[in-house]
Amino acid sequence: MVPPRSAGQEFWAGVGALAPLLVGVAPFGMIYGVLALASGLSPTAALLMSSILFAGSAQFLFCQLVGAGAPVAVVVAEVGLLNLRHALYSAALAPHLAHLPRRWKLALAYLLTDEAFAAISRREAAGQSGPRQHWFYLGAGLALWGGWQLATAAGVLLGARLPAGWPLDFALPLTFIAIVVPLVRDRAMLLAAAVAGLIALTAAGLPFKLGLLAAALAGMAAGWWAVEKIR
Amino acid sequence: MSVWLTMVVCGLLTFALRLSFIAAEGRVIFPRWFRVVLPFVPVATLTALVAPDLLMPHGALWLSWSNARLMAGLVAIAIAAVTRSVLWTLLGGFAALALGSAAMG
């Protein structure tokens, strides 16, 4: 057992656990900043979205959909789908935070991201959690938040200087390819991707960008079917 | 104006998802279908966005060697499979697009 650590030690341990992840997060945030401008968002909106939404892939999705003129309901439904996984993280953390006052719960919920959850889970797997571990969560969450804001701001500054003729919009599909391809590790994933892609093409003519929602749901259903019915 | 509205609604929804079970304080067991479907969400959502960008760059299906975005996308998929890096995928994809566009005139 590790002896109980002070709040400050826990906080900085959290910052330290998250810092290596910033190497991957920083370019991602910069690309987001550049792209947000390219898809027509104002610099203010691009910057504030990193605080209001604070979710990397959902911010990319938001830019793509808003740039394509999708209505509010479709954007909200797609962002909600993509962020469903946060409910899973929330459930995993809930027992550890149950004793805390409400302001802690609100703050840690706001800071709950893929990266912070990864840092927290790794620490729990290593058996290093202690009575002041909420300070560790806070350190990890704030480190990511700060890194994301800085990276986004750098991207917005850079994006404002890039020449207008560059096909910057192509960075969005390229970024999504870079996220999706490593996830396609088995045939169920491949089927989900193929079905989603095909439906997106055939349903592209639907009004309000509903084709995208239909394609996402069809892909998820195909994945579910492959897991539950094929084995 | 509607961009801001959309952003705020998306932000509130995301915060609600993050807070959900922390606020409920309970140990929760998710239904099986939910846990099965969840890993497929990013793949399905993002592929649905990419496919029309590559195959319908001008709004209609364009399956051709001269579709520079499609070719660059295929190059990017190969690079992503090998390197698993966002940065290399971006660099390679843009390089392929530039080469393809130059070749098509």
Model pLDDT for residues A116-140, shown as the tens digit of each residue: 988 888 888 777 778 899 999 999 9
A66 close to A57: Cβ distance less than 8 angstroms: no
Residue B104 forms contact with A (CB below 8 Å)? no
pLDDT at residue A9, as a whole number: 94
Q: In the predicted model, what is the mean pLDDT of chain A? A: 90
SS3 track for chain B? CHHHHHHHHHHHHHHHHHHHHHHHCCCCCCCHHHHHHHHHHHHHHHHHHHHHHHHCCCCCCCCCCCCHHHHHHHHHHHHHHHHCCHHHHHHHHHHHHHHHHHHHC
Name the residue in chain B with its Cα closest to that of A113: B18
Give CA separation, B102 vs A73, B54, B66, B98, in Å: 40, 18, 11, 6
Asked if B94 lies within 8 A of A183 by C-beta distance, the reply is: no
Q: What pTM, to 2 d.p., does this model score?
A: 0.81
Q: How far apart are CA A74 and CA B5, in angstroms?
A: 13
CB contacts, 8 Å: B3 with chain A: 41, 45, 66
Model pLDDT for residues B2-25, shown as the tens digit of each residue: 899 999 999 999 999 999 999 987
A-contacting residues of B 43-72, CB under 8 Å? 43-56, 59, 61, 69, 72
A219 close to A196: Cβ distance less than 8 angstroms: yes
pLDDT at residue B104, as a whole number: 75
A-contacting residues of B 15-34, CB under 8 Å? 15, 17-28, 30, 33
Q: Check if the interface score ipTM surpasses 0.85.
A: yes
Whether A1 has a pLDDT exceeding 90, the answer reads no
Q: What tokens were used for A110?
A: 């706001």
User: B8, B19, B22: which to substitute to probe chain A, counting the most A Cβ within 10 Å?
Assistant: B22
Burial class (CB in 10 A: 0-12, 13-18, 19+), A216: buried
Whether A33 has a pLDDT exceeding 90, the answer reads yes
B80 close to A174: Cβ distance less than 8 angstroms: no
B53 close to B71: Cβ distance less than 8 angstroms: no
CA A156 to chain B, closest CA, distance in angstroms equals 17
Percent of chain A residues topping a pLDDT of 70: 98
Whether A3 has a pLDDT exceeding 80, the answer reads no
